Amino acid sequence: MNYARTALLLAAMTAILMTAGYLIGGQGGLIIALVVAFAMNAFSFWNADKIVLRMYRAKEVDSRSAPEFHGLVADLATHAGLPMPKVYLIESDQPNAFATGRSPDKAAVAATTGLLRRLNRNEIAGVMAHELSHVKNRDTLTMTVTATIAGAIGMLANFALFFGMFGRNDNNPLGFVGTLLVAMLAPVAAMLVQMAISRTREYSADRGGAEICGNPLWLASALEKLDAYARGIDNHRAERNPATAHMFIINPLHAHSVDGLFSTHPATANRVARLRELAGQMQDRAAGPRATSVPVTDPGPTRNRPWG
């Protein structure tokens, strides 16, 4: 059901793009819009992961520079049946994480230094399992395509506004009215569809992450902490690049009310409730400890961890 809904939403996003192109320039505008979207998606397919990691100045770590964290991701990836992704750290006090890459073979997962400082090992396992679930479901590619189409729609809206004010286009089927519709409504419609796609994928990744780490309550506890910290700690790079907010496990833009316009995440309380319900279902199905859980235990206090 989630995959079908995502496919329908992607089709809606494409329809918005085509309609915007048609309203600006008729049939020719429609074709140009599709060509632009194809070109942008091709570029994003090959380069989006590098761009976003560079944007956040993420530094790759390995088993020598961050042995515990790298080893934890390796254990989770093995349990999920995934190739080992590249692992990155981002210098930010706000605890958060995201995954990127066009396929499981080319995936990367990134966590902030705040995540490693402020969460215990079980909670970190839940967060990184969530990100690996995104990788396994190829959500990283889906969200890259979505963000690219949304960017193309925004670009068309800017063109519409410019040509509507300073130019004349006889191919526009609705004239100035069509131009205004594209400039004002297309970006809003694209944003709403993008939000719907992201929220659908977040719920799926929560469930998949709980299954990968073996305990939904680890992720539930992590989400509650992440949400509380994000409300009080700014992620300055995310504030400067709000279009990337959908990538993170928790909206990094909670600190300012204006950022609600870019909210692409379900309510944390709803996510936690679903995870607690899943934990009850898993407990009912299994007698005793879950044998297939990743052997991750809480090493004690959450501060001063030797993460590297």
Burial class (CB in 10 A: 0-12, 13-18, 19+), 154: middle
Q: What is the predicted pLDDT for the residue at 261?
A: 46
Q: What is the predicted pLDDT for the residue at 7?
A: 67
- Catalytically active residues are 131
- Domains in the chain: boundaries: 2-285
Task: Give Cβ neighbours of residue 124 (< 8 Å, ≥ 6 apart).
Answer: 69, 72, 111, 115, 116, 222
| C-beta of residue 100 within 8 angstroms of C-beta of residue 140 | yes
**DSSP for 261-303?**
GG--S--HHHHHHHHHHHHHHHHHHSSSS-TTS------S-SS
Q: pLDDT per residue over 36-59, tens digit each?
A: 777 776 777 787 788 889 989 999
- Any binding-site annotation on 134? yes
- Any binding-site annotation on 254? no
Q: Is 6 left (phi over 0), alpha (psi -120 to 50) or beta?
A: alpha
pTM of the predicted model as reported, rounded to 2 decimal places: 0.76
| Residue reference for tokens 């990283």 | 140
- CA distances 301 to 117, 120, 305, 306, Å, are 10, 7, 8, 12
Q: Which residues of the chain have pLDDT under 50?
A: 165-167, 256-262, 290-291, 295-308
- Any binding-site annotation on 224? no
